Structure 1
């Protein structure tokens, strides 16, 4: 019964995420990676969705993602990342990001819920929990994160990877930075992740 409730909750979260951003427009299609953007009602920041196919298996991609500290090297503008807590399919992570001067660096705390599909897929729901830790000196806490990772096996040793996120970065962020970040973040993250996955 508990498993069913958890599954329903996760499906509900997926539905909410999808509802936030319904009209996806292609912003970049390069090197086998497609990046789509969508307006989000009530927000001045766009949601992004990056999709690519990687020549790797689910186990390899899961290992890359579950190495929380190590994954910082392929996440766009990640400065430092650590695991705070893990309970079965749930985990809590803390991340610090680089930002160009004069923008104050950001940090975020995420609650990650993992779901295994009957088809061998893996979905990770990303939810910002900004009050989980006290704010750190010299950093502006990201106030909202709503997103997911989805890994879907496609056969022939390939996996389709989707990375979708909408954030409220907190504080003041110049429009030029916000507009470049929503394209660069999914593109660079997926490209760097793919390079590492396909070398294994």
Structure 2
């Protein structure tokens, strides 16, 4: 069962940000089923009790060093430049260098725009050289809902990066989200599964050439 954590919050306009979020990650145990495979990369899904929307997980190898992959996925303000369907990004609050609240607006094909605000947390293990990045929905720290844009209420996920001896990067990308609106569950599950390969391709291409870091907006 997915860990949908309850987080104690104080009003952003009244007190400093002091949220203590439980680490977001896939629950241990449970049966994952392989949905598809492309070369070394595969997508798995798992049923979530009480809902028709499934968790999805991508296990992949990115042909770039781990530091470059991490730079790519952690530079969230540049997502509109390369990440599929991301239309706008706004960092609404910064608790620390490793914790931020980030508003996203996405423009997926065939359906209306979606938006949501996430708490994003970055972690690094110096002993193993592994990186972990997780997020959960925190719409109360973002702008008010917009007319014509569907507000997502469920959006948990993570990136787990591990270095390989051959210089490449092992990646596990996990997400549990409901696209909302009138999209049927079977279509949401299909879209979530297919979309992971698009994200993988975009991140790999970006990580292989970090010349974009030297370019000004």
**What residue in structure 1 maps to residue 182 of structure 2?**
172
Partner of 2:147: 137
> Which of 1 and 2 has greater Rg?
2
Task: Give 1:74 shift.
Answer: 3.8
Aligned 8 A contact 2:178 2:188 in 1: no
Q: How far apart in 2 are the matches of 1:64 and 1:99?
A: 21
Give secondary structure in 2 for the equivalent of 1:155.
coil
Query: Helix, strand or coil for the counterpart of 1:69?
Result: helix
Structure number with higher helix proportion? 1
| Residues 1:57 and 2:65 are matched in the alignment | yes
- Report the CA distance between 1:9 and its aligned residue: 4.1
SS in 2 for 1:64: helix
Is the contact made by 1:76 and 1:188 (CA closer than 8 Å) also made in structure 2? Answer: yes
- Offset of 1:76 from its aligned partner? 3.2
Moved more, 150-159 or 68-77: 68-77
Query: Distance in 2 between the 1:174 and 1:73 partners?
Result: 30
Q: 1:183 to 1:104 in 2, by over 3 A?
A: same
List structure 1 segments (4+ residues) > 6 angstroms apart after TM superposition: none
Report if aligned partners of 1:76, 1:184 keep a CA contact under 8 Å in 2. Answer: no
Q: Quote the offset at 1:73 in angstroms.
A: 4.0
Structure 1: stretches of 5+ with no match in the other structure: 1-7
Distance 2:97 2:206 in 1: 26
1:65-84 aligned within 5 A: 65-84=73-92
Residue of structure 2 equivalent to 1:4: none
Contact persistence 1:151–1:161 (CA under 8 A)? yes
Structural RMSD (CA): 2.4
1:190 aligns with 2:203: no
- What is the total number of aligned residue pairs between the two structures? 189
Residue 16 of structure 2 is matched in structure 1 by none
Q: Is the 8 A contact 1:109 1:130 kept in 2?
A: yes
TM-score (structure 1 length as normaliser): 0.84
The gaps in structure 2 that reach 5 residues or longer are 1-20, 211-217
Query: Whole-Å Cα distance in 2 between the matches of residues 180 and 165 of structure 1?
Result: 13
